[in-house]
Amino acid sequence: MTDDQKREAVVSNDERYDGLFFYGVTSTKIFCRPSCKSKIPLKKNMVYFENLKQAEQAGYHPCKRCRPDLLEYHPIQEIAEKIKLLLDDHYAQQKVLTMKMAQIGVTYRRMIHIFKEYYGVTPKKYYDNLRLAEARKKLINTDDTIIAIAYSVGFQSLSAFYSFFRRNMNSSPSKYRKENNHGIHS
């Protein structure tokens, strides 16, 4: 999530982002939940924290209005976060991912709904974005073969990887590497 997306969540007081991040105001050293109804600070005075501990370690104090230090129990949010964590940790291991997703305790259809509500994309789209980002990074920053990269990001065949990459990047992996090598793969 970019800082601009976080700011948009704060400006719109979007409670779906409560617990996903906190924002601090550098001029007051106070931190809030994204849904806080306090006056929106200037963009230049805003900093973002991934969790409560990070905000406190940076010397910020909890807002007395939104009480970010008293997060309630949000089981649906926890499910969304579990799904995201599993995708982040196991995107290249399809069998492990499928097994662990089944242990969450909700139907796949419900997972899609919960994840999309919290993150704005389906788990599949998020999963594809992770694999694409990692593939792009490896194509540019390593000398790994394209087939090795395909397997390392969870594809079972080179043709499936090529098809996926072309569909998402309008380029083959080898062409993408050549156009973005910046002297690494001369």
Residues 142-152 pLDDT 10s: 999 999 999 99
Q: Flag whether pLDDT at 111 surpasses 50.
A: yes
Q: Rounded distance, CA 176 to CA 150, Å?
A: 14
Q: What is the mean pLDDT of residues 14-33?
A: 91
The class (CATH top level) of 3-70 is alpha beta
Distance CA(118)–CA(155), nearest Å, equals 27
pLDDT, tens only, 120-158: 999 999 999 999 999 999 999 999 999 999 999 999 999
User: What amino acid occupies position 84?
Assistant: K
Active site residue 63: no
**Which residues, at least 6 apart from 3, have a Cβ–Cβ distance to it below 8 Å?**
46, 48
Domain range annotation of the chain:
3-70, 75-124, 126-179
Pairing of strands 22-25, 46-49: antiparallel
Q: Which of 32, 36, 63, 66 is catalytic?
A: 32
**What is the β-pairing status of strands 61-62 and 30-32?**
parallel
Task: Examine the pLDDT at 185 and tell me if it is beyond 60.
Answer: no
- The answer, yes or no, to whether residue 96 has pLDDT greater than 50, is yes
What are 24's strand-pairing partners? Answer: 31, 47
Residues whose CB is less than 8 angstroms from the CB of residue 96 and which lie 6 or more positions away in sequence, other chains included: 90
The confidence score (pLDDT) of residue 7 equals: 93
How does pLDDT run across 63-91, given as a tens digit for each residue?
Answer: 888 888 876 556 678 889 999 999 999 98
Fold of 126-179: Arc Repressor Mutant, subunit A (1.10.10)
Least confident of 18-22, 29-33, 84-88: 18-22
Alpha helices in 58-145 (DSSP H): 75-90, 94-102, 108-119, 123-141
Q: What is the residue-averaged pLDDT of the chain?
A: 90
pLDDT at position 70 is 77
The span from the first CA to the last CA of the chain, in angstroms, equals 34
Q: Are 161 and 146 in contact (CB under 8 A)?
A: yes
Which pLDDT score is estimated for 148? 96
